[in-house]
């Protein structure tokens, strides 16, 4: 894999983790 592909995958993973974290915190607040 090239560095660009790894950087893209890392960005996607961080974005997904950030989204999931936001949803979890919102759900916890709602409950």
**pTM, whole model, 2 decimals?**
0.61
pLDDT band at 30 (very low <50, low <70, confident <90, very high): confident
In the structure encoding, which two tokens stand for residue 7, read together?
């950087």
Kindly give the residue spans of alpha helices, DSSP state H, lying in the chain.
Answer: 3-30
Q: With the C-alpha atoms ordered 24, 26, 29, 31, is the resulting torsion angle positive or negative?
A: negative
Q: What pLDDT does residue 1 have?
A: 74
Quote the tokens at residue 22.
Answer: 């936001």
- Per residue in 3-29, pLDDT tens? 999 999 999 999 999 999 999 999 988
Tell me, what's the pLDDT at 25?
93
Residue with the two structure tokens 């560095």: 3
Cα(12)–Cα(20) distance, integer angstroms = 12
């Amino acid at each position: 894999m090239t560095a660009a592909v790894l950087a893209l995958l890392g960005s996607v993973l961080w974005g997904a983790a950030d989204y999931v974290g936001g949803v979890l915190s919102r759900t916890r607040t709602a409950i």
